[in-house]
Amino acid sequence: MQYQRSSALFNEAQEYIPGGVNSPVRAFKAVGGTPIFVKEAKGAYLTDEDGNKLIDYIASWGPLILGHAYEPVIEAVIEKAKKGTSFGMPTEIETELAKLAVSMVPNIDKIRFVNSGTEACMSAIRLARGYTSKDKIIKFAGCYHGHSDSFLIQAGSGAVTFGSPNSPGVTQGTAKDTLLASYNNLESVQALVDANKNEIAAIIIEPIAGNMGCIIPEEAFIKGLKELCTKEGILLIFDEVMTGFRLARGGAQEVLGINADIVTFGKVIGGGLPVGAFAARKEIMAKLAPEGPVYQAGTLSGNPLAMSAGLAMLTALNNNPEIFRSLADKTAYLHKGLSKVLTDAGIIHQINRFGSMISVHFTDEPVVDFESSAKGNNETFKKYFHGMLSNGVYLPPSAFESYFLNDALSYEDIDATIKALENFVTDLK
């Protein structure tokens, strides 16, 4: 494949945009080479600026669960845009989307829309602190909750890839209120709770993690976490920015059978436009301004174009919940196919999968937390990534990211993906 135009565009972008990108993982730092500049996309395929057609496994990092340029979303946005793009005043469609989201997700009464997953998580911990009158939070190493200061204390995803878990610019004052536990390790949480008695407002977790590869919570761990929170008066925050409206109508709360106290959303809820949200039961949301004293606001929050995209997306999912099963089946098929090719070639690997999230790790140990995920062989990953790319398959350009399957992918596309791996698998040795 040729990447001349992507390469030229990247060179030019670097003149005007730090690192040539507006979000670090796009820069290919972890895998080397030139980031692909997208020209357009439809369904399961991306077309890049050099005219290469790629099968896409990132779906804009999750939002496009029904594929690129999904007609009902596109039409809804075009129709809305004709009537004005932003008012900074209430509109009916905000309530429509809120009503639908609340009807789909267990254990939430009210929802507040923001513009990104980062904003949702940042606001959720402020609300938790305001509600409990406590300052500290616990997060898990390798879980990513956006780039607000309180979470850049050993984040996964881009920050891990760049080996700078504590970003300059985050103050010691902020860092001291964030405690770090290990995923799937309840004792590590208990130890922090014991050492900070009555000081912890919330524990925030990716209920199925996607920012250190896809990591599945052990049942005893996630249930134990819920029990611990209830016993200690700590709010449990499920960061469902990735999992919300992707794993089931009710997200991870539904599939795990666990009620969180606050839930955050992003990605799918905006149908590909910038939307985040956080939600909880009435008594918690009542603390939020203007009803209560915890301040939170946004000029473009509840933006009509973003709301119309989200409404079209959630309506489609609500009307066709079998999509979640069919996506999980496709993901299982991909898992089986990739695993067979790698095993037959004698390549040491682990594949983690939950619903339509999946990741391949080049390590012989089970990947259950950040530490085990970081043991993956990045040299092999780089060859795997570039091998797939040159065979027409676009994977996340970092071993710490989950793939997101979308409904437009056909079994033929998945067969082509498995075939792509066959073409170069011996190079991975």
| Dihedral angle over CA of 127, 130, 132, 133, nearest 10 | 150
What does the chain come to in residues?
A: 429
* 267 in active site: yes
Tokens, residue 157? 């995803």
In the complex, the smallest distance separating the C-beta of residue 30 from ligand PLP, rounded to whole angstroms, is 15
Q: Which is nearer to ligand PLP, 267 or 330 (CB)?
A: 267
Residue 224 forms beta bridges with which residues?
none
Candidate list 48, 56, 239, 407, residue with the active-site label: 239
In the complex, the smallest distance separating the C-beta of residue 292 from ligand PLP, rounded to whole angstroms, is 24
Task: Give the closest residue to 409 by CA, choosing from 164, 42, 71, 153.
Answer: 42
In the complex, the smallest distance separating the C-beta of residue 208 from ligand PLP, rounded to whole angstroms, is 10
Strands 235-239 and 200-205: parallel
SS3 360: strand
Strands 53-56 and 393-394: parallel
* 144 in active site: yes
**What letter represents residue 325's amino acid?**
R
In the complex, the smallest distance separating the C-beta of residue 306 from ligand PLP, rounded to whole angstroms, is 12
Candidate list 80, 136, 226, 267, residue with the active-site label: 267
In the complex, the smallest distance separating the C-beta of residue 3 from ligand PLP, rounded to whole angstroms, is 25
Residues that bind ligand PLP (CB under 6 A): 61, 116-118, 121, 144-146, 206, 210-211, 239, 241-242, 266, 276
In the complex, the smallest distance separating the C-beta of residue 204 from ligand PLP, rounded to whole angstroms, is 9
SS3 185: coil
Residues 367, 363: Cα–Cα separation, whole Å: 8
Tokens, residue 327? 């996506």
Q: Which is nearer to ligand PLP, 28 or 61 (CB)?
A: 61
Q: Which is nearer to ligand PLP, 67 or 210 (CB)?
A: 210
Angle between helices 71-81 and 304-319 (to 10 degrees): 150
* Helix ranges restricted to H, 304-395: 304-319, 322-344, 370-374, 378-390
**What letter represents residue 412's amino acid?**
E
In the complex, the smallest distance separating the C-beta of residue 347 from ligand PLP, rounded to whole angstroms, is 28
Q: Which is nearer to ligand PLP, 24 or 337 (CB)?
A: 24
End-to-end Cα, the chain, rounded Å: 23
CA 328 from chain centre, in angstroms, equals 17
Q: Which is nearer to ligand PLP, 252 or 425 (CB)?
A: 252
Task: Give the closest residue to 158 by CA, choosing from 341, 24, 290, 334.
Answer: 24
Task: Give the closest residue to 23 by CA, choosing from 397, 404, 428, 426.
Answer: 397
Candidate list 45, 70, 144, 394, residue with the active-site label: 144
Q: Which is nearer to ligand PLP, 116 or 398 (CB)?
A: 116
**Residue that the structure tokens 């299982």 belong to:** 332
Q: Which residue is nearest to ligand PLP (CB)?
A: 117
CB neighbours of residue 110 within 10 Å: 17
In 318-348, which positions are buried (b, 16+ CB within 10 angstroms) versus exposed (e)? Answer: eeeeebbeebbebbeebbebbbebbeebebe
Q: Which is nearer to ligand PLP, 206 or 254 (CB)?
A: 206
Q: Which is nearer to ligand PLP, 356 or 380 (CB)?
A: 356
- The contacts of residue 271 (CB under 8 Å, 6+ apart) are 63, 70, 73, 309, 310, 311, 312, 313, 314
In the complex, the smallest distance separating the C-beta of residue 211 from ligand PLP, rounded to whole angstroms, is 5
> Which sequence positions are flagged as catalytic?
144, 239, 267
